[in-house]
Amino acid sequence: MSDRPVEFRGLGFAPQPVRYAALAAFAVLLAIWEYAGRAGLVSPIFLPPPSTIAKALADLWAQGLLLRHLSESAYRLVFGWGLGTFVGLAAGFAMGIWSVSRAIGVPFVSALFPIPKISLLPLLILWLGIGEASKVATIALGVFFPTVIATYAAIDAVPRNLIRMGQSFGLPTSDVLRKIVLPGALPGILAGFRISSSIALILLVSAEMIGAQYGIGAFVLQAGNLMLTDQLLAGVVILSILGLAIGTGLGQLEKRLLRWR
């Protein structure tokens, strides 16, 4: 028998990071989309080409409206998300730590979480008016429930033996919470932030249904109501960029806070 080299047959099935692939695919998609629009393959009413959307964005900027919309929405997002997260963390911690609050909280959360917040708008208007309070509350309400669930699940997931260890070294309960439970639950809580921030963005449009004159959600709503599809998609682009930015920011935060992983 003659010598022959053993052939390599272990190709593939080994995921590797491929740089710029997503960007390239995105660029190709945009090019096809633009071409289809220009060549008249699709009606601009149904799908405005990217250049038209870009022009709508540029107009928005030129009129000085983009920053106005963004700043009003940012206010609502920051306060709505902040409030929902703060209260949600408190409730989630209570439910994660005390059996009684869990026994009370779990059925409440299960019953109230699935209620579409948009159906509560008339009530929120009656309670809080049509100013910022009801808009912030709409977002806060949407953020609250997933935060509660993420928080108490994350606390549940903190290994009990770590807590016993802390107790065995005589750590006071406050220290057990601060030094063991909180950091142990942090990965789960941060994962919850990703969900709750997306929900906040989704609810921005609902919140701005309440008599908002400015805001990205109000802009998207108005564009839809006027059937100005280019502006509609421009608003959607802004929302996606916002989502991407928030996601990236949270990624950075995770990287810093969860360096130990």
- 213: contact with another protein by CB under 8 A: yes
- 226: contact with another protein by CB under 8 A: yes
> How far is Cα 106 from Cα 147, in angstroms, rounded to an integer?
13
- 227: contact with another protein by CB under 8 A: yes
> How far is Cα 115 from Cα 126, in angstroms, rounded to an integer?
18
Q: Which stretch binds another protein (CB under 8 A): 89-97, 101-109, 145-153, 166-174?
A: 166-174
- 218: contact with another protein by CB under 8 A: yes
Helix (H, G, I), strand (E, B) or coil at 231: helix
Q: Which of 241, 238, 223, 219 is nearest to 45 (CA)?
A: 223
Q: Which of 57, 93, 97 is nearest to 238 (CA)?
A: 57
- 179: contact with another protein by CB under 8 A: yes
Amino acid at 145: F
Amino acid at 88: G
- 64: contact with another protein by CB under 8 A: no
The least distance separating another protein from the CB of residue 183, rounded to whole angstroms, comes to 5
Nearer to another protein, 56 or 148 (CB): 56
The least distance separating another protein from the CB of residue 72, rounded to whole angstroms, comes to 14
- 172: contact with another protein by CB under 8 A: yes
- 221: contact with another protein by CB under 8 A: yes
Amino acid at 168: S
- 47: contact with another protein by CB under 8 A: no
- Select from 83, 97, 106, 125 the one that contacts another protein (CB under 8 A): 125
Query: 42 vs 25, 48, 49, 57, CA distance in Å?
Result: 21, 8, 9, 21
- Select from 91, 109, 180, 189 the one that contacts another protein (CB under 8 A): 180
- 44: contact with another protein by CB under 8 A: yes
Query: 54 vs 48, 207, 217, 245, CA distance in Å?
Result: 10, 26, 18, 19
